[in-house]
Chains A and B, each alone.
Chain A
Amino acid sequence: MDEDDVVRLSGVTKTYWLGKVPVTGVTEVSLTVRRGSFSVIAGPSGSGKTTLLNLIGCIDRPSRGTVTVCGKDIARLADDHLADFRARTIGYVFQTFNLIPVLSAYENVEYPLLLTRTPVGERQRRTQAMLEAVGLADKHGQRPNELSGGQRQRIAIARALVKDPGVVLADEPTANLDSRTGHDIITLMRAMQQRLGTTFIFSSHDPDVMAQAEDLFLVRDGALVDRQVGDRA
Chain B
Amino acid sequence: MTTITIAYRNIFRNRRRSIMTMLAIIVSAMAVVLFGGYVAMIMLQLETEFVRRSGHLQIFRAGYFDFGAGQPEAFGIGGYAALIDRLRADLVLAPKLRVVTSTLAVTGIAGNFAEDASKTVFAQGQVPSERERMRHWDDYGVGSGRHRTSALSDDDVEGGVIGIGVARMLFLCDDLGVNDCPAPPADLTTRVVTAQDVPDEDFSDLTALDAVEPAHTDPRPKLDLLAATAGGAPNVVSLAINRAESQGNKVIDDNFIAMHLTLAQRLVFGRGTPKVTAVVLQLVHTADMAAARAYLTRLFVAEGLPLEVRDFKDLNPRYGQITGLFRAIFTFIALIMGVIVVFTVVNTMTMSVMERITEIGTLRALGLRRGGVRRLFVAEGLMLGMIGASLGVGLALAAAAAINGAGLTWLPPGNADPVDFKLVTVEAPQLVLSAWVLLMALAALSSLLPANKAARMPVVDALRHV
Contact = CB atoms under 8 A, between A and B. Distances in A.
Do they bind each other? yes
Interface of A: 54, 57, 59-60, 79-80, 83-88, 90, 92, 94, 96, 98, 100-103, 107, 110-112, 114-116, 159
Interface in B218-261: none
B459 A60 contact: yes
B367 A90 contact: yes
A54 B459 CA distance: 9
B7 to A, nearest CB: 9
B359 A98 contact: yes
A164 to B, nearest CB: 14
19 contacts: A54-B460, A57-B365, A60-B459, A60-B460, A80-B369, A80-B370, A83-B372, A84-B369, A86-B366, A90-B365, A98-B362, A100-B359, A100-B363, A102-B9, A103-B1, A111-B366, A112-B366, A114-B1, A114-B2
B6 A100 contact: yes
A87 B9 contact: no
A80 B359 contact: no
A88 B460 contact: no
B368 A103 contact: no
A107 B1 contact: yes
A86 B362 contact: no
Given A79-B369, A98-B358, 4 more contacts: A80-B370, A100-B363, A102-B13, A115-B368
A79 to B, nearest CB: 6
A107 B9 CA distance: 13
**Centre residue among B9, B366, B459 by max chain A CB count within 10 A:** B366
Given A100-B6, A102-B13, A59 B463 contact: yes
A101 B463 CA distance: 15
B365 A92 contact: yes
Nearest to B362: A98
Nearest to A83: B369
Given A59-B459, A59-B460, A80-B371, A115 B10 contact: no
A80 B362 CA distance: 16
Contact of A96 (B358, B364, B368): B358
B1 A79 contact: no
Contact of A84 (B358, B367, B458): B367
Nearest to A96: B358
Contacts of B364: 59, 83
Nearest to A54: B460
A159 B366 CA distance: 9
A159 B371 CA distance: 22
B124 to A, nearest CB: 72
A84 B365 CA distance: 10
Interface string B1-32: 11000100110010000000000000000000
A187 B320 CA distance: 82
A88 B458 CA distance: 20
**Most chain A Cβ neighbours within 10 Å, of B363, B369, B370:** B369
B367 A103 contact: no
A105 B2 CA distance: 15
Contacts of A54: 460, 463
Question: 6 shortest A-B CB distances, which residue pairs?
Answer: A87-B367, A102-B9, A59-B459, A86-B367, A98-B362, A83-B369
Interface in B115-159: none
B337 to A, nearest CB: 30
A98 B10 CA distance: 16
Nearest to A107: B1
A88 B369 CA distance: 13
B10 A102 contact: yes
A83 B367 contact: yes
A78 to B, nearest CB: 10
A72 B11 CA distance: 39
B225 to A, nearest CB: 83
A43 B458 CA distance: 25
Contacts of B372: 83
A110 to B, nearest CB: 7
- In this complex, the member of A107, A111, A116, A159 whose beta carbon has the largest number of chain B beta carbons within 10 angstroms is A111
Contacts of A114: 1-2
A115 B363 CA distance: 10
Contacts of A110: 1
A107 B1 CA distance: 8
A83 B458 CA distance: 12
Contacts of B13: 101-102
Contacts of B366: 86-87, 92, 111-112, 115, 159
Name which of B6, B368, B371, B372 has the most chain A CB atoms within 10 A of its CB: B368
Contacts of B362: 92, 94, 98, 100
A59 B369 CA distance: 12
B367 A88 contact: yes
B2 A102 contact: no
A114 B371 CA distance: 15
A102 B6 contact: yes
B193 to A, nearest CB: 81
A86 B10 CA distance: 25
A85 B364 CA distance: 11
A206 to B, nearest CB: 20
The winner among A100, A102, A111 for most chain B CB atoms within 10 A is: A102
Which of A84, A87, A159 counts the most chain B CB atoms within 10 A?
A: A87
Interface in B258-304: none
Contacts of A83: 364, 367-370, 372
